[in-house]
Amino acid sequence: MYNIEKIDNYRWQIPTSYKPGMKVPGLIYANDSLISLILKDKAPEQVANVAFLPGIVKYSLAMPDIHWGYGFSIGGVAATDPERNGVISPGGVGYDINCGIRLLRSDLTEGDLKPRLENLINALFNNIPCGLGSSGDIKVSDREEKEIFLKGAGWAVKKGYGVKDDLEHTEDKGCMEAADPSGVSERAYERGRKQSGTLGSGNHFLEVQVVDEIYDDKIATIFGLFKGQVTVMIHSGSRGLGYQVCDDYVKGMIRCLNKYNINVPDKQLACAPINSSEGKAYLGAMRCAANYAWANRQCLMYLARMVFERVFDKSWSSLGLDLVYDVAHNIAKMERHKVNGKEKILCVHRKGATRAFPPGHPDIPEGYRDAGQPVIIPGDMGSFSYVLAGLPGAMQETFGSACHGAGRCMSRSAAIRQCRGRQIDKELFQKSGIIVRAKGRSTLAEEMPEAYKDIEQVVGVVHEAGISKRVARMKPLGVIKG
């Protein structure tokens, strides 16, 4: 199937001979167990299809959390060269632009938290807006929304929803340059006005955790992590605004296929040359949505800090609720990478993949530069999450990328069918003592642990393949979901 070739224990190649028109091979990172799951899905077909994109270099890549997506697989990575008619594809970014993860550390231990855990989870659930179409108290005017598009998380800090150090520990300092609000439709503006500081639904969550394993003491200390420590993980994105930006441009770019004589096997890979008017317009609008997402997560972190203050009757700073790092998924960036020994500026699409830059890279916060970029990989709500650090192998092989989560192994509809008659929140509490609060039972059914791959195997692949290094593991104590 797919003429797939095993390169080693963690790499599988789809050769260009699989489909006439593939410009580069496909490369999937997986072990023997995971590849058997992956091949049951149609996602490897999407890996092969992405290899048709004009200007693609080296490989069409897929991380071990790969599963079926729109155009690109979730877990897909591809870099295109503007000097070789390289393209930008909205399907290579996704509908939830800059869906991402931020991790907060604390000075609290599990012992400090246990007596207040249920009150804390209930308070988080009651004070952080979540669920499909949810809106919050942080509403903005048209002028402020444009400022968010241009300044990202910096807007939220300026409004008092954080401190400058938060920006230092956010990818791109929470703001992509060259955002262009003129390319954002009125419908997208409208959807974004009421959703700053909202979690959303589906796989978005806020999770209270405890560090239960340290793999690298030195790097963990640099990141401010220790065994028994309480951490908080926030997963959200650009909400309805980002969805609308993607939807607007996906439809428009289908016309670009004929205009620029682009041949791809799937219209969901609609794209335009990076340097074309259409490509520049999408990139400008996408950056607006990305900046909105960073502002959104900054606001969510502020709301979480306020809840901790009330529950523990102490300031968030005295509780040590500092940001470890914020990483983006579902994004396209112009980055410097070496191709055949020559440094080039490439457009790197990461669709359900996260950046994993190695020690010494100038884009890593100065305090982390000796350790490598924090790579934050959540599990499902019933399993562990991980912090890793980027390694040189990522720059050599994956354009500085790693996986972003466990990855689905079951569709949402299949999960709902299998979950019929079950109460996932009660199961998680009875089995593991995890307190779960959610707006709807369908969310818990869609997100049940069995719907996801084994996070330990997924993380094991990127660790053993030399892309990122395991640093710490966290187990969930309480989760809120839409």
Looking at residue 2, its pLDDT comes to 76
Bigger pLDDT: 184 or 412?
184
Which structure tokens are listed for 312? 């523990």
The CATH number covering residue 29 comes to: 3.90.1860.10
Which structure tokens are listed for 203? 């796989």
- Number of domains the chain is built from: 1
- Confidence grade of residue 367 (pLDDT, cut at 50, 70, 90): very high
Q: For residue 205, give the 3-state DSSP assignment.
A: strand
**Amino acid occupying residue 380:** D
Among 346, 349, 359, which Cα is nearest to 328's? 349
Name the strand (E) or helix (H) holding 76: strand 74-80
124-155 residue pLDDT tens: 999 999 877 677 777 788 889 999 999 999 99
Arithmetic mean of pLDDT, 255-278: 97
CA dist 188 and 179 (Å) reads 15
- Is residue 276 within 8 A of residue 255, CB to CB? The reply is no
**321 phi and psi, to 5 degrees?**
-80, 70
Domain enclosing residue 204, as ranges: 5-481
- Is residue 353 within 8 A of residue 60, CB to CB? The reply is no
CA dist 120 and 107 (Å) reads 16
**Crossing angle of helices 239-259 and 277-312, rounded to 10°:** 170
What value does the mean pLDDT of the chain take? 96
Find the catalytic residue in 67, 169, 235, 404.
404
Q: Is the pLDDT at 250 greater than 80, yes or no?
A: yes
Bigger pLDDT: 194 or 206?
206
Alpha helices, DSSP H only, in 313-409? Answer: 392-397
308-322 residue pLDDT tens: 999 999 999 999 999
Other C-beta atoms lying within 10 Å of the C-beta of residue 218: 10
Arithmetic mean of pLDDT, 16-27: 97
Pairing of strands 11-14, 26-29: antiparallel
Q: For residue 114, give the 3-state DSSP assignment.
A: helix
CA dist 202 and 353 (Å) reads 18
CA dist 379 and 455 (Å) reads 6
Residue 169 is a catalytic residue? no
DSSP state at residue 119: H
